[in-house]
Structure 1
Amino acid sequence: MDSTSPRSSALKFTGTESYVATDDLTVAVNAAVTLERPLLVKGEPGTGKTELARQVSAALGLEMIEWHIKSTTKAQQGLYEYDAVSRLRDSQLGDERVHNVANYIKRGKLWQAFDREQKCVLLIDEVDKADIEFPNDLLQELDRMEFHVYETGETIKARQRPIVIITSNNEKELPDAFLRRCFFHYIRFPDIDTMRAIVEVHFPGLKPALLTTALTQFYEIRETNGLKKKPSTSEVLDWLKLLLAEDLSAEDLKQTGNSALPRLHGALLKNEQDVHLFERLAFLARGQR
């Protein structure tokens, strides 16, 4: 084990200048680091789960390896893939490479993380997108930090145990055996004070009146009954960027005319059902006047 690598007990995450981390989130990150267990982070899309891993990497000065999961992703791909087709083709062509099976082994993200001389951060992003068996298929590898390569007969062990951060959008339940091996944290949607701090990071010096009016409208939208998709943190930041680009004031935002829709609502409402909902609300409001 490399003596120059930072010890887990010495690593402390406190957030960064570009990422507002709440106290409970920093406690969760540091607990997972101390326990040397994967940190499972759940929360609404757009609450900064993926960005958390990048910020932990930046704050601790560690390399980042990202494994983005799709519906077709298999756990084996995170370890390695054996390209038997290429080996067969090369054998037919008389290529000397065929005599060494290692030439046809493609290292996956876990192997890359295990092979690093220095501790790194491994992000397994949106684990719930894959098949329900996907988390179970990684139990031993994440627990023991090793796996066997059957084609070469070698056992790959982590040189330095990586900091593993796993994100989930809560689209499906994860197996109990998998959950037992993780430290869990749910990122709650930011309250208005935390959101102000987040906005200040991205848009320092924003006029208080504009910020107050914009956030008031944003939270009113999120709390509207019947909304199919609530706008997220990333979407309110996009919206504020547009408001600044259009040089709109707090008074401009308040003047919605006959529509209950906010200015530039396309940054916040992402489907026609929610747009129609606000149009119906505006119609009902006019009828009650």
Structure 2
Amino acid sequence: MSEASSRGTGGKPGNGRFEGTERYVATEDLMVAVNAAVALGRPLLVKGEPGTGKTVLAREIAMALGKPLIEWHIKSTTKAQHGLYEYDAVARLRDGQLGDERVKDIANYIHRGKLWNAFAADEQAVLLIDEIDKADIEFPNDLLLELDRMEFHVYETRETVVARNRPIVLITSNNEKELPDAFLRRCFFHYIRFPDAETMERIVGVHFPDLKKEMLRAALTAFYEIREVPGLKKKPSTSELLDWIKLLVVEDIPPEALKVTDKKDLIPPLYGALLKNEQDVHLFERLAFLARREGRA
């Protein structure tokens, strides 16, 4: 069983436990993982294929529990220090040359990061550290102490920032690189498996409640057949399936057009929503070519 992405909000906030929302199909094991991480006060590390709803999970947790959300999206250039604070020495030097009175207080040049904002929040917040594996290998280790003790020191102002309320921390990873063991030990782990057909039907039903059953069955059959093609570089994800179905509805494509009755016509209509690189498109074109050649033989 698996979880899937959401593109809206909804639910019953403030009940103290995460049980999914009206716009997010959560399986039992996901709900257990979220609530266990909250109870333990540990970061929840979520892995899974891109497009399976890892990032949006944080938004749905915040909505369901009635808590503010703070999002920190990691890039390859992101450093752990950015999440704490940044000291703008250049601005202070410039203001000093201009005779600005602000230079007398160094705190005017300290810019809070996402962790600081989460620590300083008046109520418990949900902190998303998104795609942690994009940063360099030292990034997770550089956050160990801060996430463990929920405090850090600001050397320029000689103050220690302590979390008013321990935030609910959700960390996502696409498995682009391995995370350090010391970091993993401090997390509660959950892997989002790709949704099976039954779960996917529920997910699509949330987003397209009026979709005809014949179209739903045809779209899901075609979708899973594409994912099972050997040699596919990037398998289409849940979010791409939802995009594809939206286009099928907008363009009024009939269910019959999705059924592969002839191997010579393997590429589905509006395939650009599902196949996202030229290698996979060429793969389907080669398969169709081989099928045509076999038909002539």
1:60 counterpart = 2:84: no
1:110 counterpart = 2:112: no
Number of the residue aligned with 1:42: 47
Match of 1:284 among 260, 274, 290: 290
SS in 2 for 1:288: helix
1:266 counterpart = 2:272: yes
**For 1:101-150, what per-residue CA distance to the aligned partner results, in whole angstroms no more than 9, with x for missing partners?**
00000000000000011001000000000000000000000000000000
TM-score (norm 2): 0.93
Number of the residue aligned with 2:227: 222
Match of 1:80 among 71, 80, 85: 85
Aligned length: 280
**For 1:58-86, what per-residue CA distance to the aligned partner results, in whole angstroms no more than 9, with x for missing partners?**
00000000000000000000000000000
**For 1:26-57, what per-residue CA distance to the aligned partner results, in whole angstroms no more than 9, with x for missing partners?**
11000000000000000010000000000000
SS in 1 for 2:75: coil
TM-score (norm 1): 0.95
Matches within 5 A, 1:75-154: 75-154=80-159
1:175 and 1:255 map into 2 onto residues whose CA distance is 46
| Contact kept in structure 1, 2:260 and 2:266, CA below 8 Å | no
Shift of 1:254: 2.3
1:130 and 1:23 map into 2 onto residues whose CA distance is 31
Match of 1:25 among 30, 51, 56: 30
Shift of 1:255: 6.3
Give RMSD over aligned pairs. 1.1
Q: Give the letter aligned to residue 192 of structure 2.
A: I
Number of the residue aligned with 1:200: 205
Q: Give the letter aligned to residue 27 of structure 1.
A: V
Shift of 1:167: 0.3
| Unaligned stretches of 5+ residues in structure 2 | 1-14
Q: Give the letter aligned to residue 109 of structure 2.
A: Y
1:252 counterpart = 2:257: yes
Identity over aligned residues, as a percent?
Answer: 75
| Contact kept in structure 2, 1:11 and 1:33, CA below 8 Å | no
2:261 and 2:279 map into 1 onto residues whose CA distance is 20
| Unaligned stretches of 5+ residues in structure 1 | 1-9
| Contact kept in structure 2, 1:256 and 1:262, CA below 8 Å | no
Runs of 4+ in 1 over 3 A off after TM superposition: 255-258
Cα pair distance change 1:255/1:185, threshold 3 Å: closer
2:269 and 2:260 map into 1 onto residues whose CA distance is 9
